[in-house]
């Protein structure tokens, strides 16, 4: 099965081996997701305004005592994507949902196709479980939607604010803890798709 994400040149396949079963791909996705969520956090407070809102996100403000709001998207095909500082959720009614923790990226099944009730802290995430072998196709379909979303978002940012804006965001990420930086984010996400 091949999916095309609306407004994108990226076509994703659900026939490949899951990235979490290949240590080099798992390492790459772990680095990319950590980098992406950091950059998105900076994009929210950009001098150009909140780029996630400009891109079409719905913002749900955090309750008192929680620092970061939830940003959610309804994607083409009925997919629901939710971004948190500690990870990303993707769901589809006919499949269910997956959560990928920012630092432990291997996808985990969630009991629902929606990120509700909202987990404001990592400790509030509902119980998850490992993806079983017979679910790899569905899991890859969801994961590839996440990768394509990030590719589309980064492409939009580059087109609207320029490559120098993106390089500045990545340089800040590198200075943070001397992180591994994937300077060509578009290419990196495209490779994963």
Domain ranges of the chain: 17-192
Instruction: Tokens 């407004």: give the residue.
Output: 7
Burial class (CB in 10 A: 0-12, 13-18, 19+), 62: middle
pLDDT for res 76: 95
Q: What is the pLDDT of residue 114?
A: 75
What is the value of pTM for the model shown? 0.85
Mean pLDDT by runs of 10 across the 193 residues of the chain is 43 64 91 94 94 95 77 95 92 93 90 74 80 92 95 96 92 82 81 75
Q: Within 13 Å of residue 20, how many CA atoms lie on the same side as its CB? A: 18
Sorted by sequence, the CB contacts under 8 Å of residue 33 that are 6+ apart come out as 87, 88, 100, 102, 105
- Look up tokens 């996100």; give the residue: 57
**Neighbouring C-beta atoms of residue 107, cutoff 10 Å:** 25
Could you tell me how far CA 41 lies from the centroid of its own chain?
A: 12
* Strand intervals (E) in the chain: 2-4, 11-13, 58-60, 70-74, 80-84, 87-92, 96-101, 108-110, 129-130
**Gap between the Cα atoms of 96 and 84, Å rounded:** 19
Upper half-sphere CA count for residue 86 (Cβ side, 13 Å): 12
């Amino acid at each position: 099965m091949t999916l095309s994400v609306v407004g994108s040149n990226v076509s994703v396949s659900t026939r490949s081996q899951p990235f979490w079963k290949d240590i080099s791909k798992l390492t790459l996705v772990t680095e990319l997701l950590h980098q992406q969520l950091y950059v998105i956090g900076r994009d929210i407070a950009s001098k150009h305004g909140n780029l996630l809102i400009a891109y079409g996100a719905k913002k749900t403000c955090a309750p008192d005592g929680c620092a970061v709001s939830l940003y959610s998207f309804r994607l083409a095909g009925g997919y629901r994507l939710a971004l948190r500082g500690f990870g990303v959720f993707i769901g589809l009614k006919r499949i269910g949902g997956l959560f990928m923790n920012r630092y432990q990226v291997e996808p985990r099944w969630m009991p629902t196709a929606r990120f509700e009730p909202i987990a404001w802290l990592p400790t509030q995430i509902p119980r998850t479980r490992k993806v079983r072998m017979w679910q790899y196709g569905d899991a890859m379909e969801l994961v590839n939607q996440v990768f394509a979303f990030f590719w589309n978002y980064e492409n939009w940012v580059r087109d609207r604010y320029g490559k120098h804006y993106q390089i500045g965001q990545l340089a800040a990420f590198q200075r943070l803890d001397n992180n591994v930086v994937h300077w060509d984010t578009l290419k990196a996400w495209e490779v994963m798709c």
